A and B are shown apart, each in its own frame.
Chain A
Amino acid sequence: MNDALVSLQDLLVRQHRRLRDSLEATKNEGVRSALIREMGEITHRVQLVGGLLFAAQANQLDAKVAACDRERPS
């Protein structure tokens, strides 16, 4: 699951970067507005996927911290 989220977030960030490059290359106001709206949407998705990834990793972290406790000498 983490691998899919990692790939998805990376893909979204690359898309954001491509849109930013397109924005720098155009002077058309309509296209610029559309690109900025799309970048806002992509940013929101990056945040959502980031939140899901963080939650999944936090659950794994809990299990790893529990493993530390189990290995602690009594």
Chain B
Amino acid sequence: MLQTDAAVHEVLNHMAEMLLLEKGDVRAGVMVTIETTWENRLVEIGEEYRKTADDKKASVLSRYVDTVSQKHDALAGIRSLRQTLLDLASAHTAAAQERSADVRAVIAVVRDAISQMKELLAEARAARAAHQ
């Protein structure tokens, strides 16, 4: 475990960077793409609200609120997965140095995070293929 720690650390940090890469005030990655997509959707619904007759505004407003909620859920999910990956990198090092009591738990969480990341990769590749 100690022998592979540096490489595992690098993989987990790389996966976290795929979700959100921050270099100074520059931000890029999956989270930025998703954030912008939802922001644009909200702008469109906001514009629709402006143009809708008063007696029909309530349903547009309700859709706006749902969209805000979906945006927050999507971003919270990604933020949480990213933090898990960063925590795992630290946990792996601790386990490798025998500072962690339960190595199996660390490995199980690493596997779970990798599996989530694989699903994300598969979805992104499928979406990309559909665009080509």
Contacts and interface: CB of A to CB of B under 8 A. Distances in A.
B62 interface: no
A3 to B, nearest CB: 9
Interface stretch (B37-45, B64-72, B98-106): B37-45
Nearest to A29: B51
Interface string B16-43: 0110010100111110110011011001
B115 to A, nearest CB: 13
B14 to A, nearest CB: 6
Nearest to A51: B128
Chain A contact surface mostly: helix
Interface residues of A, number: 34
B11 A54 contact: no
B15 A61 contact: yes
B30 A50 contact: yes
A67 B12 CA distance: 13
A5 B28 contact: yes
B94 interface: no
A72 B26 CA distance: 35
Contact of B40 (A39, A55, A57, A72): A39
A68 interface: yes
Interface in A30-74: 32, 36, 39-40, 43, 46-48, 50-51, 53-55, 57-58, 60-61, 64-65, 67-68, 71-73
24 contacts: A5-B28, A6-B21, A9-B29, A9-B32, A16-B39, A32-B47, A43-B36, A46-B36, A47-B33, A50-B32, A50-B33, A51-B124, A51-B131, A53-B29, A54-B30, A54-B124, A55-B125, A58-B124, A58-B125, A61-B18, A65-B11, A68-B7, A68-B11, A71-B4
